[in-house]
Structure 1
Amino acid sequence: MTTIQPGQALPDLELKAIVDGQIETRQTAALFDQRKVVLFAVPGAFTPTCSNKHLPGYVQRFAEFQQRGVEVVCMAVNDAYVMQAWARDQKVPPGLLMLADGNGLFTQALGLQLDGAAYGMGLRSRRFALYAENGVVRQLHVEAPGEFRVSSAEAMLTAIDA
């Protein structure tokens, strides 16, 4: 499968979120339409780099994205209940959307899946961040295996400002 590239529209698929205690379906077309959005994805909620660096960076810098008129979405190939618990554990502020790609269909449509079977994790997402305007990818930053540099909140703020 080919990885999505800048200039291409994001695929329209369903993701899940917990809203007021209920699982809610979110269509990606509606999430990205008429908006500026940074979507960052992690291999797994509650995993070390994701919990110690990746999500905390976006939590700490969330107001800076808001000041630029950019919404922030975190996604993982986990279920919506795990994403809700992780958001609570990480003190994610209201407005930073935590979405579950439970079956990895959106991740696969982006061409950014990771085979974590050797680690007992199955299909997961590669670590990445993308910046989209009105549903079209403007920037894509995919981490090399084992790295955490180009998808951080700091790196994305710098890239958006460039």
Structure 2
Amino acid sequence: MKTFVIIGIFLLVFIWYLTFLATRLDRLHHRVETSWANLDGLLQRRAAIALEITRSEIADPASAMLLTAAAYQAREASIENRSAAESGLSGALGLLLADGQSSQRPAEIVLLRELSELTDKVRIAIALHVDAVARTHLVRSKAIVRIFRLAGTAPLPITYEFETDVL
């Protein structure tokens, strides 16, 4: 009788642990999705600001054309091409800001300040997303998660190359 009780307790604890891991994995996947949604929104806003900069007098016509093309590519890129498009926009913004073509007009100063603040937010959002992806990979790499298929059909989250080179 004692053996059945001990086995029953062991099974209950084991089932509780599997449930705990599955719930944790679900929360981690949700965290990855929300961090990506936040990052995507910030990147879309960065592309919009880049387009506003092209309409201002900050950029010369050639830089404005390059920045416009990079911004539209970043906004409309598919998930497979997103990394290259965002890296291109980062490069175009870097070239524009490295030129040092800044005027003292209040509207342009506000745009550049907003771009700077947004860049800081993008860096934070990237750090949060990379952390969420790393933690999810860590949990999914456990043997018990793979054996009992606790991840279900959720795709393995990935990080993108542009997440290491944003402005």
TM-score above 0.5, yes or no:
no
TM-score (norm 1): 0.26
Structure of higher CA gyration radius? 2
TM-score (norm 2): 0.26
Higher-helix-fraction structure: 2
Higher-strand-fraction structure: 1
